[in-house]
Amino acid sequence: MDKLLALNTLLEVADAGGFSKAAQRLGVATSSVTRLMDALETSLGTALLTRTPRKVSLTDAGIAYVEQVGKVLDDLAEADESVFDSGASPVGALRIAVPSAFSRLRLAPHLAAFLAEHPRVFLDVVVADHYADLALDRIDIAIRIGLPDRDANLVVRKLADNPRYVVASHDYLERSGTPATPQALDSHECLRVAYGGGYRTRQVWSFRRDGAEERVEVRGHLLSNSIDILLEAVIAGRGIALLPEWLVAAEIRAGRLMRLFEQFEATPHNGDAVVYAAYLPNRRHSSKVRAFLQFLEARLQSALEG
């Protein structure tokens, strides 16, 4: 019995729920699948499958075995792929984790061009705002916005700066007045990004100009960990927000938002966040990882310069 063939066939039977459907997927005779499963169960000394006229299902032992076998086969496929992927030409599956808003505005518009340049790469893009565990979630590259030293155990690469703009709608400024200086923000409704604290948590925005820094504590009735929610609120005239340039630049150009304090460099209290990539050390020599990062870095730099 070819053990590797038997294990792959078992996974196909489990997924298909029957011998004939699994055989069709594999392009072999149903009798071949049946004999292979019988041989596998005999070698293990236990039943993995429950057979009925209408369906084939896993026993409790089969469920546990399939779970372990799936991990082993995934690891084997990853090992095989790593050998191919160490060459000059990018090849294989590339799994990327990226925040939702950034994906929509800065990644999605470029994916077709990347695939056209690298036709042997298969992209699997996971759009999620949670902090993914790269090893557990089998992520090749995580695109993140923040402070790279948070990922001290990973390889990190800065892709672009992440300038923030203080913005408000014209309607809000007409109603509430335009603050002449950053310090005037303490009397305005400020829409704040949630950094782990509740609405009572102090939040400070920092403003730098000519080497000097001033800090302003801001308050407001809307706090969210979603910058898309804050963007919609600021466009609707609910207050003043400090948001990434890549999120608000189009709204400023379209006249829906106005940028305030252009002569200042503005940051929230969490410091000078950047756009960066993080990946596991064992992906360091991957040609597909290298190709994707070079591609994305060039596109992000072009967007900032434009």
What pLDDT is attached to residue 115?
96
**Mean pLDDT, to the nearest integer, of 205-233?**
93
CATH class of the domain whose range is 92-162+273-305: alpha beta
What pLDDT is attached to residue 79?
65
The reply to whether domains 92-162+273-305 and 164-268 share a CATH topology is yes
**Mean pLDDT, to the nearest integer, of 217-237?**
95
Instruction: Indicate whether 198 pLDDT > 70.
Output: no
What pLDDT is attached to residue 242?
96
What is the tens place of the pLDDT at every residue in 157-180? 999 999 999 999 999 999 999 999
Instruction: Indicate whether 145 pLDDT > 80.
Output: yes
Dihedral of CA 190/128/146/143: which sign?
negative
Between residues 61 and 211, the one the model is more confident about: 61
Most confidently modeled range among 16-30, 233-247, 273-287: 233-247
Instruction: Indicate whether 235 pLDDT > 90.
Output: yes
What is the tens place of the pLDDT at every residue in 68-117? 888 888 777 666 665 555 556 888 899 999 999 999 999 999 999 999 99
Task: Please tell me the least confidently modeled range out of 134-138, 155-159, 193-197, 229-233.
Answer: 193-197
Instruction: Grade residue 269 by pLDDT with cuts at 50, 70 and 90.
Output: low
What pLDDT is attached to residue 78?
66
Between residues 292 and 150, the one the model is more confident about: 292
Architecture of domain 3-85: Orthogonal Bundle (1.10)
Angstrom distance (rounded) from CA 218 to CA 201? 10
What pLDDT is attached to residue 112?
95
* Per-chain mean pLDDT for the chain: 89
**Mean pLDDT, to the nearest integer, of 183-192?**
95
What pLDDT is attached to residue 258?
98
Instruction: Indicate whether 213 pLDDT > 80.
Output: yes
What pLDDT is attached to residue 86?
56
- DSSP per residue, the chain: --HHHHHHHHHHHHHHTSHHHHHHHHTS-HHHHHHHHHHHHHHHTS--EEE-SS-EEE-HHHHHHHHHHHHHHHHHHHHHHHHHHTSSS--EEEEEEE-HHHIIIIIGGGHHHHHHH-TTEEEEEEE-SS---TTTTT-SEEEEEE-GGGGTTSEEEEEEE--EEEEE-HHHHHHH---SSGGGGGGS-EEEE-SSS-TTS-EEEEEEETTEEEEEEE--S-EES-HHHHHHHHHTTS-EEEEEHHHHHHHHHTTS-EEE-TTSEEEETT---EEEEEE-GGGTT-HHHHHHHHHHHHHHHHHHH-
Instruction: Grade residue 230 by pLDDT with cuts at 50, 70 and 90.
Output: very high
Question: Do 279 and 155 touch, CB atoms closer than 8 A?
Answer: yes
Distances (CA, A) of 7 to 32, 36, 64, 68: 14, 9, 13, 11
Instruction: Indicate whether 17 pLDDT > 60.
Output: yes
User: Domain map of the chain by residue range?
Assistant: 3-85, 92-162+273-305, 164-268
CATH number of 164-268: 3.40.190.290
